[in-house]
Structure 1
Amino acid sequence: MKNDLRESKDKKLIQLIIDDRYRIWRHAILLVGFLPVIFCTDEILEYSGPYRYYRLLCVYGSIMAMCYVNMNVLVPRIFFKGRYVRYVVVLFLLVSVFVVLMANLLSAFSTSGRLPPHLVMPDRKMGFYEGTVILVPIILVTTMIKLFQRWMRDNERITELKSITLTMELNELRNQINPHFLFNMLNGIRALLHSDPDKADMVIMKLSEFLRYQLYENNEMKTLLRSEINFLSNFLDLEKLRRDNLTVNVESLAAATVLNHIFLPPNLFTTFVENAVKHSVSISEAASYIRVSIAVDANRLYFSCINSTDPGYIPSDEKNSGLGLANIKRRLELLYGANYTLEITSSGNEYNVKLTIPL
C-alpha cells in the first residue's frame, strides 16, 4: 500500500513537471519560487526604503528574463541541437548583457537624486565579473529543468513504444501457437478417419468445443485458471479417445475458490501438454501416460507435466517440433522477465517439464 501511494505521488510530480496541462502551474512555481530567494540575498537586504524594492525589481526581472530566454531560445535552438560550445558562449554573452543592463538601471536610479547619500556607495558592491559568475549557474538551473523534462518525455515515449511492441509480439506468438495446436489435432483426426470413423466423429465434436474456447476466451488478455485446466483436461480426454493405451491425469492441488479467482494469460501450458501428447506415442503400442499437475502457493503457480517416451519413436513433424516450445519460452520472457523458472529434463523413458510463474 505504501509503495502504491509513493508511486502515485511520484507519478503526479512527474506529470506536474512534463505535462502541458500544468504549464501555468510550472511558470507560477518558478516565478514565485525565485522571488523570496532573491529578496533574501545581501544584495537586496543591505538597502532599505524604495531603493530596496527598485533593486529587487531590477534584479528579479533581469534574472527571470534570462531564464525565459534560456529556456525558450538557447536550450531548444542551440543546446538540444548539440552545439554545446556555442551554447556556453551565447549564455555568457546573455548574462553579460543583462549584468550591464542591471548596472545601468541601478546607476540611473542612484544618480537621479532619489537615493539617500549614505546608500549610493555601499561597502560591498558586486562587480561585473562576480555578477556573471554568480548568475550563470542560476540560469543553468533552468537548463537542467528543460533537460529533465526532455528526458522524462523521451522515457515515457520509450516505455509506451515498448508496451506496444510487447503487446504486438505477444499477440503474434499466441497466434502462432493456436494454428500449431490445430495442425496437430487435424493430423490426429485424419489418422482416425481411416482406422475408426466413429471415434473420428466424436473427436470432431470435441474439437468444436476447443474452437469455441479459442474464439470466446482465448482472445482475451487473461483467462480463468479453471478454464485453462478444463481446456487441458478436454484436450487430453480427446487424445485418450484416439489412443487406447494412453493414461492421462490432470490434477489440481488448489482449492476451487482459488481456481475461480486466478487469471493468467491463455495457452501458457498448451504447448507443453501438446508436446507430451506427441512424444508419448509408443511404437510397440505399450502403455503410455501423461500426468499434469497444477498447484498454487504463496502467490506463485507451479505447473508440472510428465509423459512417458519411447526412444525409438520420431514424430513425423520433428523438423518443426521446436516452434511451439520456442514461442512459449519467448512469451514467458516477455510476460515475466526473470521472475519465472522453466526446467525441462529428459531421461530414456520420461520427459518432465516444471514451470513456476508469479501470480
Structure 2
Amino acid sequence: MISTLKKNNWLVVKIIAMVSIAIPLGIMVYEFILLGNESVVFLEDYPVAIGVIIIIYYTILLVIGILWILSQLSALLTLRNETKKHEIMHLQNQVNPHFFFNMLNNMYGLVDKDTDKTKKLILKLSELMRYSIYKGERTSVTLEEEVAYIQNYLDLHKIRYHKPIDIQFKTDIGKNGTIMPLLLIILVENAFKHGVENLRENAYVHINLMSDAKKMVFEIENNFDEKEIPKKEGIGLKNLKRRLYLAYPKKYTLTTTSMNSIFKAKLELQL
C-alpha cells in the first residue's frame, strides 16, 4: 500500500510539472507568432487576455497543488492509524496462547485422576477463551468486564494448584470506565509465571484496582524465588509497554520494582 501511494504521488508530481512547463511554453509560442520576432519578458508586455489566462491558470494550479497536498496528508494519517491498529491487534493476539496450551496439557493429565476438577477447569478455561476471542477483538471493554476476566483467571489457578496460595483481588471501580481488553492480564500472568509457579510454599499474589471517571490505578505484588528470576525482560512485559505506547500515548505511567524477593508493578492510566 505504501509503495502504491509513493508511485501515485510521483505520477501526480510529474503531471503537474509537465503541465506547468507546457502551458507557459505554448503561450510563449503564441506570443512569438502574434508579435513577430519581438521577445516577451515581462507580464506587462503580454496582451491583456493572455495575462489574465496566465493568472487564472497559476491560481488553479496552486489550488490543485494545495488540495493534492492535503489529500496526501490525509492518506498518510489514515495509513498510520491503520498500521497502528494492525500492530495493536497483533499484540493482543499474542496474549494468553502459551497459558492456554499449558492448561490443556495440565487437564489432560487430570482427566483420569480427578474428573470433577477437570470439568471445573474446562468451564473456567472456556470462559477465558470466549472472552479472549470475542472481547479481545474490540478496541475497548468496560472495567467490569476486564475485572470479571481477571477473576476467572484467578479462580482457574486456585483450582489448578495443589499448594495453598494467598490470592487477594480488591477492586473499587467506577461504572463508566473503559479500557483496552487484555491489558491488565499480562501483569497477572507474570505474577503466576515468575512467582507462584516456582515457589513451593508461602506464595502470594495481591492485586488492587481502583478507578474513577478520569483515572485507573492497577497495583500487583507477588513474591518469587530469586534463583528462578529471568535475567531479561519477558515478552509479555515488552508487549504491554508497546500496547500502552500505541493506545495511550502520554496518558500512562508503568513502574516496576524487584527487591527482597518481592515484585511490584503499578500502572496508572488516564481514562
What TM-score comes out, normalization by structure 2 length? 0.75
Cα deviation for residue 354 of structure 1 reads: 1.5
Report SS of the residue matched to 1:248.
strand
* Whole-angstrom CA distance in 2 between matches of 1:215 and 1:283: 29
Q: Does 1:332 align with 2:235?
A: no
Consecutive unaligned residues in structure 1, runs of 5 or more: 1-75, 104-125
Cα deviation for residue 229 of structure 1 reads: 0.4
Match of 1:251 in 2: 170
Q: Is the 8 A contact 1:245 1:285 kept in 2?
A: no
Cα deviation for residue 334 of structure 1 reads: 2.1
* Whole-angstrom CA distance in 2 between matches of 1:234 and 1:79: 56
Match of 1:218 in 2: 136
**Aligned match of 1:81 in 6, 9, 14?**
14
Q: 1:211 to 1:283 in 2, by over 3 A?
A: closer
Q: 1:219 to 1:100 in 2, by over 3 A?
A: same
Name the amino acid aligned to 1:128.
D
Cα deviation for residue 276 of structure 1 reads: 0.6
RMSD of the TM alignment (CA)? 3.8
* Whole-angstrom CA distance in 2 between matches of 1:199 and 1:292: 25
**Aligned match of 2:256 in 317, 340, 344?**
344
Aligned-pair identity (%): 30
**Aligned match of 2:60 in 131, 142, 162?**
142
Q: Does 1:154 align with 2:86?
A: no
* Whole-angstrom CA distance in 1 between matches of 2:11 and 2:116: 79
Report SS of the residue matched to 1:247.
strand
Q: Is the 8 A contact 1:237 1:248 kept in 2?
A: no
Structure having the larger proportion of residues in helix: 1
Equivalent pairs counted in the alignment come to: 254
Q: 1:284 to 1:262 in 2, by over 3 A?
A: closer
Match of 2:150 in 1: 232
Cα deviation for residue 226 of structure 1 reads: 0.3
Decide which structure has the larger Cα Rg and report it.
Answer: 1
* Whole-angstrom CA distance in 2 between matches of 1:351 and 1:184: 23
Report SS of the residue matched to 2:264.
strand
Consecutive unaligned residues in structure 2, runs of 5 or more: 1-8, 36-42
What TM-score comes out, normalization by structure 1 length? 0.59
Q: Does 1:323 align with 2:235?
A: yes
Matches within 5 A, 1:1-359: 80-81=13-14, 84=17, 89-94=21-26, 96=28, 127-128=44-45, 139-189=57-107, 199-243=117-161, 244-254=163-173, 258-259=174-175, 261-281=176-196, 285-297=200-212, 299-313=214-228, 322-359=234-271
Cα deviation for residue 247 of structure 1 reads: 1.0
